[in-house]
Structure 1
Amino acid sequence: MTLDEWVKAACAKLDIAPSDAPVSLVLNLARDVAHNTVRPAAPVTAYLLGLAVGRGADPREAADALTALAASQAKSDSDEH
């Protein structure tokens, strides 16, 4: 199964329009978080993004804020060493 096939199947199961699933946005966020914090933070952050969007947050703005938070954490960690 490809990623696109999985997303379509998961969206169908959850009654979500595939157009409402910004796959590249979530993947980029997960990558940035995994590289700048600890790897397990990536799926948790993706879930938190989903919660925020479900509560009305703009997906791109929320993802940008989380990416900036992860980047600042990485900078903070490198400043300590």
Structure 2
Amino acid sequence: MSELDQWVAEITAELGLDGVQVPTTEVLDMARDVAHNVLRPGAPVSAYVLGLAVAAGADPVEAAAKISALALRRSTLDS
């Protein structure tokens, strides 16, 4: 288990989310896309918004992909 996996296990347990599957790769990819194509502070805020979407019933992988796509489109528009 990686250090990141251990951290995720600790925080999910602390928050009473035992057994919740966290799509770590997708969340990190989304944060990277936002940080590099929009602005750095947008990455953690986007991760929070992703959490709100998931809490409202969105699929986490699909929602992360939508945010990434939006960030990549925005970068293209700025070029």
Same fold, judged at TM 0.5 (above): yes
Greater C-alpha radius of gyration? 1
Cα gap change, 1:35/1:18 in structure 2, threshold over 3 Å: closer, same or farther? farther
Aligned counterpart, 1:33? 34
Aligned counterpart, 2:77? 76
Q: Normalized per residue, which structure has more helix? A: 1
The answer as to whether partners of 1:33 and 1:41 remain within 8 angstroms in 2 is yes
TM-score by structure 1 length? Answer: 0.87
Structure 2 unaligned regions, length at least 5: none
Within 2, Cα distance between the matches of 1:26 and 1:18? Answer: 18
Aligned counterpart, 1:54? 55
- Structure 1 ranges of 4+ moved more than 4 A: none
TM-score by structure 2 length? Answer: 0.89
Aligned counterpart, 1:66? 67
**What is the identity percentage for the equivalent residue pairs of Structure 1 and Structure 2?**
51
Aligned counterpart, 1:13? 14
**What is the deviation of 1:59?**
1.0
**What is the deviation of 1:4?**
1.6
Structure 1 unaligned regions, length at least 5: none
**What is the deviation of 1:3?**
1.3
